[in-house]
Amino acid sequence: MPAFRRIVWVVLDSVGIGAMPDAAEYGDPPGSDTLGNIARLRPLRLPNFARLGLGNIRPIVGVPAAASPSGAFGRCALASPGKDTTTGHWEMVGIHLAKPFPLYPQGFPPEIMEPFERAIGRRTLGNYAASGTEIMQALGEEHVRTGSPIVYTSADSVFQIAAHEDVIPLAELYRICEIARGLLGGVHEVGRVIARPFTGAPGSFKRTANRHDYAVPPPEGMLLDRLTERNVEVVSVGKISDVYLGRGIAHAHKTKSNADGMEKTLLALRESPDAGLIFVNLVDFDSLFGHRNDVEGYARALEEADAWVPRLEAALAPGDVVLFTADHGCDPTTPSTDHSREYVPVLACGRGVCAGVDVGTRRSLADLGQTVAENFGAAIAKGESLLAQITAGKPDARGFVTGTPVAADFRGRPRPPLSARGRCDGPEDPSPAPPDGRERVG
């Protein structure tokens, strides 16, 4: 029988928690630290994430370490080369890349652009690395006049196509993106082709919510394939369905914003009692604020997500668990507008989670996928499950972690004793934590 009946896995897109040791090799500015730098420049009010253990992962200005965290906590490294959506999300489901997806900082070469323009019957504008909002304002008027779609990339492996919805209707834009996806294979197989529709007039162009991602098909045997084999229903919220091309997903909820995604997560909890996994991506942190170096907007988005946590917890049924994490960083405080290669936080909460467990520094995001897989009696190719640690406070194979019960839940109600909780049956006296300065590796 699964330890958890349902798992709600929430990806706080780009909410990194400090640079990985190899960040400079990926072109990151020194000191990239999405959460830490935002908190240093703009005081954050994150009481709910703090009580789950966010401040126990590492010091964050204004986010104190909880004396008795009500969740399990830790952080994950990225094992794959890269720092983009596809790399991070693929790793979550058990896929480690042997090499990163190709990048085009100087724009796409003629062997890509010439056949693409012939296939769509249009000339293109742009073809350089740029901020999406900036290139839309710079070339939008010419696009409206000529009907030529705007092609651009970034520091990530993406082929992005922007078009005004009144000039190139959505169906045509999506068709153009499908053509690009079909052409971008072999050595030019970018991680994603992205439709970037917008509306408005010159000087006030604005993106719409009709973005669509065309990802590379994940290799067979990833987590969602394994769950399908075991008849575990998966419901997605946000861009998750796009990232995995809908594979293994029974129901997909598209979203217009973080707020919409949070509401649709609650809807999925109400309407999908038989779902095993509710897989959520909240993308505004990255797309609206990280890439635009909007510190205030990013901070507000974090606080809005924090304020939602009690509603999410209240919606959980017995046997439900929430896993919070991210896929990479995107520090809005540095000169760069690109993703950053960072550790990402791990927080787990729910009635079956043994509170106070430090799961340490995990070697891969695949550890979370392996946790989900093990819960439902499956296994994926990469990752080490932390299921035993978060359900019973048991040490892992390296003997590092033991959980500590706390006296009350998020509503202040007394928690039952360990023996009554069933899934926190480790010793009542916590073992000493590893000495200060010792690297905990899960």
If asked whether residues 170 and 264 sit together in one domain, one would say no
38 has pLDDT over 60 = yes
Residue 27 shares a structural domain with residue 17:
yes
pTM: 0.83
The tokens describing 414, both together, are: 């007394």
133-137 average pLDDT score: 92
pLDDT of residue 372: 98
CATH value at residue 267: 3.40.720.10
Is residue 214 over pLDDT 80? yes
Per-residue pLDDT tens digits for 334-343: 999 889 999 9
Residue 351 lies in a domain: yes
Angle between helix 170-183 and helix 110-120 axes, rounded to 10 deg: 140
Q: Tell me: do 247 and 259 sit in the same domain.
A: yes
28 assigned to some structural domain: yes
Query: Is 408 a domain residue?
Result: yes
The reply to whether 148 and 244 lie within a common domain is: no
Torsion sign across C-alpha atoms 108, 110, 115, 118: positive
Q: What is the mean pLDDT of residues 70-88?
A: 95
For residue 388, CA distances in Å to 52, 227, 307, 354, 402 come to 18, 19, 29, 10, 10
Look at residues 197, 140, 133, 201 and name the one whose alpha carbon lies nearest to residue 170. Answer: 197
Residues 39 and 91 in one domain: yes
Contacts of 230 (CB under 8 A, 6+ apart): 376, 377, 378
Which of the four pLDDT bands, split at 50, 70 and 90, describes residue 81? very high
User: In the predicted model, is pLDDT for residue 430 greater than 50?
Assistant: no
- Determine the Cα–Cα distance for residues 176 and 172; give it in Å rounded to an integer: 6
Residue 69: both structure tokens together: 């965290």
Q: What is the pLDDT of residue 133?
A: 87
Q: Please give the residue that has the higher pLDDT: either 223 or 417.
A: 223
The answer, yes or no, to whether residue 107 has pLDDT greater than 70, is yes
* In a shared domain, residues 147 and 81: no
Same structural domain for residues 346 and 197?
Answer: no
> pLDDT tens across 306-333, in order?
999 999 999 999 999 999 999 999 999 9
Residue 396 has pLDDT above 70, yes or no: no
Over range 252-278, report the average pLDDT: 96
Lookup result for tokens 């769509």: 120
In a domain, 353, yes or no: yes
**pLDDT of 104 higher than 50:** yes
Q: Is the pLDDT of residue 422 over 60?
A: no
Measured CA to CA, the distance from residue 418 to residue 408 in angstroms comes to: 12
Give a yes or no: residue 437 inside a domain. no
In a domain, 435, yes or no: no
Question: Token match 């991680």: residue?
Answer: 191
Q: Which of 215, 238, 273 is the last residue of a domain?
A: 215
Does the pLDDT at position 416 exceed 80?
no
- In our burial notation (b when 16+ CB lie closer than 10 A, e otherwise), range 211-241 reads bbbbbbebeeebbbbbbbeeebbbbbbbbbb
Same domain, 343 and 209: no
**Mean pLDDT, residues 301-310 taken together:** 98
Give the chain's domain count: 2
Q: Which residue reads 């959506």 in tokens? A: 85
**Which residues constitute the domain of residue 356?**
6-98+217-421
Strand partners, 129: 153
In a domain, 426, yes or no: no
| pLDDT computed for residue 393 by the predictor | 57
Are 260 and 207 in a shared domain?
no
Ordered DSSP codes for 158-196: EEEEEEETTTS-HHHHHHHHHHHHHH--GGG--SEEEEE
Does one domain contain both 196 and 251?
no
- The answer to which of 123-127, 373-377, 418-422 has the lowest mean pLDDT is 418-422
pLDDT above 90 as % of the chain: 83
| Euclidean distance between CA atoms 329 and 341, whole angstroms | 6
Task: For residue 301, tell me if it sits in a domain.
Answer: yes
- Residues 285, 368, single domain; the answer is yes
Confidence of residue 432 (pLDDT cuts 50, 70, 90): very low
Percent of the chain with pLDDT over 70: 89
CA 4 → CA 72, 317, 348, 417, distances in Å? 15, 10, 12, 19
Q: Are 173 and 195 in contact (CB under 8 A)?
A: yes
Beta strand 344-349 with 320-325 is: antiparallel
CATH at residue 150: 3.30.70.1250
* Residue 210 neighbours by CB distance under 10 Å: 16
Kindly report, residue by residue over 344-391, the tens digit of the pLDDT.
999 999 999 999 999 999 999 999 999 999 999 999 999 999 999 999
Cα–Cα distance for residue pair 308/123, rounded to 1 Å: 46
Sign of the four-CA dihedral 398, 365, 344, 346? negative
The region of weakest confidence among 258-262, 277-281, 411-415 is: 411-415
Are residue 141 and residue 271 in the same domain, yes or no?
no
How much is the CA Rg of the chain, to the nearest whole Å?
22
What's the mean pLDDT when you consider all of the chain?
Answer: 89
Closest CA to 106 of 127, 134, 79, 80: 127
